[in-house]
């Protein structure tokens, strides 16, 4: 009797240990992943904006603003393509701007991501020269790679209530 | 101006500047709408500046323009609005030369909403960092993104005001048999109507300082804020 009871408890515990995490992982895991992706993209956008804003000033601060932010843009962008694992789209039921096309046209998406990475690397190189006109031109080149990917693979602003 | 028949009296209701400003605003809002939802923001910024230019000029013309364009001649208090509103169901109400008290509410609401949409747009941040508003440097990325959404939400409110305005024009045409569209195109009401005074036209040259002032406002917003 005691043995039967023991086996019962053992199998129950075992199934809880094995199945439990899978149940917990399904939703909150994706949610954390998507939230973290949004945070990283926002940091990327913020660093990019800081450079853009600084370039509007008569005497841009290269050492404290432009160079470190260009470094942030470059380092963040190198991880960009790892932020979109399968299952982290709208099917996760987490609010996201990411469209299913990202995974349906993965080759094109990855190609655009790599173009963005190379333009971001170039941004760092151009920033080091400290010429406002050249850097402005490079921010436009980089911004176009953001748009090239956002237009087909990101929901337009007006379809969502807010950025999260 | 009297026609061949004594009974035909078609007074001028809207002067040319008011009509041109009205249709320019329609065009600019149309371009803003299209370019906004299609993420063609390079056109969006220019059409937004165009709308701002028109609104500033219209505000100026509301102070020194022809009689029917002046705010002092058509903006009424709550009592006058109410007195007019309760006669809305009647078909025999006379034409007024220019905005009626309820139409005046719509004009003020329209101008305020357009200004609100533009004002928020000046600080909005583009997700691609290509075409952020000219004053977006004063807010953080996150704040600017929230403002981009608010920009659209208030625009939806503006679409509501526009819908109300068009509904009123249709209501006047279908129910009261007053064609409000025709005077906004030709300047004069269609058909034979009762005697109402024609507008007192402001001289055309007076438009020029307003046009320059409005252009100055746009220029300052686009350029000057970053040069100190």
Which residues in A lie closer than 8 A to residue B128 (C-beta atoms)?
Answer: 143-144, 146-147, 150
Q: For residue A22, what pLDDT band results from cuts at 50, 70 and 90?
A: very low
CA separation, residue B112 to residues B154, B158, B181 (Å): 11, 9, 22
- Residue of chain A whose Cα is closest to the Cα of B155: A158
For position A21, what pLDDT does the model report?
A: 44
Cβ pairs bridging A and B (under 8 Å): 66
Selected for mutation to probe chain A from B34, B44, B129 (highest A CB count within 10 Å) is: B129
Which residues in A lie closer than 8 A to residue B127 (C-beta atoms)?
Answer: 45, 146, 150, 154, 157, 163
Task: Tell me which residue of B188, B223, B202 sits closest to B60, measured CA to CA.
Answer: B202
Nearest by CB to residue A140, choosing from B130, B132, B149, is B130
Backbone phi and psi for residue B46, each to the nearest 5 degrees, phi listed first: -65, -40
Q: How far apart are CA B82 and CA B206, in angstroms?
A: 34
What CATH number labels A28-162?
A: 1.20.120.10
* Tens of pLDDT, residues A146-157: 999 999 999 988
Tell me the ipTM for this assembly.
Answer: 0.79
* Tens of pLDDT, residues B61-84: 999 999 999 999 999 999 989 988
Q: How far apart are CA B159 and CA B109, in angstroms?
A: 12
A→B interface, C-beta within 8 Å: 42, 45-46, 48-49, 52-53, 56-58, 139-140, 142-144, 146-147, 150-151, 154, 156-158, 160-163
Domain segments of chain A as ranges: 28-162
Q: What's chain A's length in residues?
A: 164
CA separation, residue B228 to residues A48, A57, B225 (Å): 22, 8, 7
Q: How far apart are CA B218 and CA A53, in angstroms?
A: 19
Q: Is B127–A150 a contact, with Cβ atoms under 8 angstroms apart?
A: yes
Q: How far apart are CA B125 and CA B134, in angstroms?
A: 9
Nearest by CB to residue B129, choosing from A146, A151, A162, is A146
CA separation, residue A5 to residues A10, A12, B141 (Å): 9, 11, 60
At A72 the three-state DSSP class reads: helix
Q: Is A58–B140 a contact, with Cβ atoms under 8 angstroms apart?
A: no
* Tens of pLDDT, residues A48-107: 999 999 999 889 999 999 999 999 999 999 999 999 998 889 888 888 999 999 999 999
């Amino acid at each position: 009797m005691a043995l039967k009871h023991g086996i019962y408890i053992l199998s129950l515990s075992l199934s809880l240990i094995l199945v439990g995490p899978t149940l917990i992982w399904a939703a909150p895991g994706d949610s954390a992943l998507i939230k973290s992706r949004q945070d990283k993209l926002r940091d990327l956008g913020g660093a990019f904006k800081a450079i853009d804003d600084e370039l509007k000033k008569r005497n841009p601060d290269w050492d404290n603003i432009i160079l470190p932010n260009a470094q942030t843009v470059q380092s963040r962008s190198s991880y960009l393509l790892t932020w979109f694992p399968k299952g982290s789209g709208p099917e996760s039921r987490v609010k996201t701007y990411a469209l299913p096309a990202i995974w349906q046209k993965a080759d094109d998406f990855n190609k655009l991501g790599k173009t963005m990475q190379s333009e971001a690397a170039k941004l760092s190189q151009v920033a080091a020269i400290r010429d406002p006109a050249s850097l402005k031109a490079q921010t436009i080149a980089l911004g176009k790679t953001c748009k090239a990917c956002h237009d087909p693979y990101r929901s337009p602003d007006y379809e969502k209530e807010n950025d999260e | 101006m009297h026609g061949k028949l004594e009974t035909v009296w078609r007074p001028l209701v809207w002067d040319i500047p008011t009509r041109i400003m009205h249709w320019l605003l329609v065009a600019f809002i149309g371009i803003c709408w299209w370019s906004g939802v299609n993420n063609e923001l390079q056109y969006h910024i220019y059409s937004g500046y165009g709308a701002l230019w028109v609104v500033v000029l219209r505000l100026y013309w509301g102070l020194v323009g022809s009689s029917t364009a002046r705010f002092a001649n058509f903006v009424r208090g709550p009592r006058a609005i109410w007195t007019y509103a309760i006669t809305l169901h009647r078909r025999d109400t006379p034409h007024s030369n220019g905005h009626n008290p309820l139409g005046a509410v719509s004009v003020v609401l329209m101008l305020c909403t357009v200004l609100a949409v533009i004002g928020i747009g000046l600080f909005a941040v583009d997700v691609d960092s290509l075409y952020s508003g000219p004053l977006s440097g004063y807010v953080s990325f996150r704040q600017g993104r929230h403002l981009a959404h608010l920009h659209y939400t208030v625009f939806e409110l503006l679409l509501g005001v526009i819908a109300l305005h068009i509904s009123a024009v249709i209501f006047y045409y279908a129910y009261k048999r007053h064609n409000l569209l025709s005077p906004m195109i030709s300047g004069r009401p269609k058909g034979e109507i009762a005697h109402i005074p024609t507008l007192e036209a402001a001289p055309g040259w007076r438009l020029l300082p307003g046009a320059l002032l409005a252009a100055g406002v746009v220029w300052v917003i686009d350029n000057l804020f970053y040069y100190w």
